Structure formats: C-alpha cells, structure tokens
C-alpha cells in the first residue's frame, strides 16, 4: 500500500489535486481520506463554546484515530471514518465513511505534514502552494455556500486563527514535502508528475522499488 499525503493552506486546491490524481489512476485503485473528517467531536459543548474553538490548530484534529485507521488499512482491514458536520461543529452519530484497503491511499488536509507520527506513515509527501489572496477567496465562497457562514464570521476567523495557524504550522510543514505543487489544480504538470510516480508504484516499476 502506497500512502500519499497532500497538505497545504485553506483553499490551496488540495482536494482538487487529489481528485485529479484519482481521475487519472481510476477510482477503483485509490482510497481517498480527508483529514477534515477527523476533527475532534465537540458535541458535549454548547454551541457558543464550539464556535470559540480554534479549528485551524493541529490539536483540533483527532490524529490518533486517523493514524489508527491508516494502520488498519495497511493491515488489510476496513475502517470507518467519522462524518463531521461543520454547521454544528460535531460528528454525526449515525453516518460514517467506509474506508477500504487499496493499492493507493490519498490523504489530504491542512495538517497532514505537521504531525510527525502521521508524517512518518506517508510514502509521498506533497504540499500544494497557492497564493494567499486566491486561497482566501476560495475559502469565502466555500464557507458561505457549503457551511452557512457569514462574511463577517469568515473575516474574523481568518484574522484570529486561519492566518496565524497557517504561518505557525502549515507553511513551515512545507519543508517536509517531497513534491511542491504551486497553484494546486491549475498545475497540470505537477499533477502529472505525481500521477506518474504513483503509476510507477502500481506497475511495480523497478526504479521505484529500488528508490
């Protein structure tokens, strides 16, 4: 099993890169995991308390569970990822995402490269590097359309946690990347390089094995 980790700032195009690689390889060969599903459950808190949490800090994620699930997949067993509802900051008590063992696992998320224990499970480490102005515009559209946020709340969160956490944790994690893809899904060459590397693994390429 080859595990690819794709990190980058909010709105950088991590998911687009991951989906583009999956489209090239074939969805039947790849298991996709979003770190967003592994936000810690905050259902025991009031909504006011939930809204005050720093969701851009690495500690907001249940990486222990994520690591456990990656190891379960490596052992050839199925795992069930939580489903996180961003509108209420809590996990679903009913739904899960079935993760099946596969030749390739692609994990994407803000802090995929920030956690050393998680990083050590990755065979290929990717950082999607996109200009801040493009990223914030993408985040504004996503949070309004998909998460029911107001422009005021997005602005406050960006200044209070998003940018400080990006500067403190996400940007520094770029040094661990094996491959940096500028401009995310717009970078066809970068996506093609990552796809070719992955295809070499799938076909048992001798150069890849020796490397």
User: Using one digit for the tens of pLDDT, what is the confidence trace for 1-60?
Assistant: 999 999 999 888 899 999 999 999 998 999 999 999 999 999 999 999 998 899 999 999
The average confidence (pLDDT) of the chain is: 91
Which pLDDT score, from 0 to 100, does residue 10 have? 87
Structural domains of the chain sorted by starting position, each given as residue range(s) with its CATH number in brackets: 2-37+64-80+99-201 (3.40.50.300)
Instruction: In whole angstroms, give the CA distance from residue 171 to residue 169.
Output: 6
Write down the pLDDT at residue 75.
Answer: 96
Flag whether pLDDT at 208 surpasses 70: no
pTM of the entire predicted model: 0.89
Express each pLDDT in 79-116 by its tens digit. 999 999 988 889 998 999 999 999 999 999 999 999 99
pLDDT at 156: 86
Distance CA 72, CA 93 (A): 22
Q: How far is CA 174 from CA 14, 65, 71, 91, in A?
A: 13, 23, 24, 29
If DSSP codes are grouped into helix, strand and coil, which group holds residue 128?
Answer: strand
């Amino acid at each position: 099993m080859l595990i690819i980790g794709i990190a980058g700032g909010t709105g950088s195009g991590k998911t687009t890169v991951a989906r583009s690689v999956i489209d090239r390889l074939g969805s039947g060969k790849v298991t996709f995991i979003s770190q967003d599903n592994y936000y810690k459950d905050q259902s025991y808190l009031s909504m006011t308390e939930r809204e005050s949490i720093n969701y851009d800090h690495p500690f907001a994620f249940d990486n222990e569970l994520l690591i456990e699930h990656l190891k379960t997949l490596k052992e050839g067993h199925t795992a069930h990822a939580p489903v996180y509802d961003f509108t209420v900051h809590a996990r679903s008590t009913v739904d899960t995402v079935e993760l099946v063992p596969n030749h390739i696992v692609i994990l994407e998320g803000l802090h995929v490269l920030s956690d050393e224990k998680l990083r050590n499970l990755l065979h290929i480490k990717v950082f999607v590097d996109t200009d801040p102005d493009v990223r914030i515009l993408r985040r504004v559209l996503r949070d309004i359309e998909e998460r029911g946020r107001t422009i005021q709340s997005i602005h406050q969160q960006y200044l209070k946690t998003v940018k400080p956490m990006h500067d403190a944790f996400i940007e520094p994690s770029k040094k661990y990347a094996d491959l940096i893809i500028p401009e995310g899904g717009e970078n066809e060459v970068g996506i093609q390089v990552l796809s070719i590397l992955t295809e070499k693994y799938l076909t048992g390429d001798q150069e890849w094995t020796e490397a």
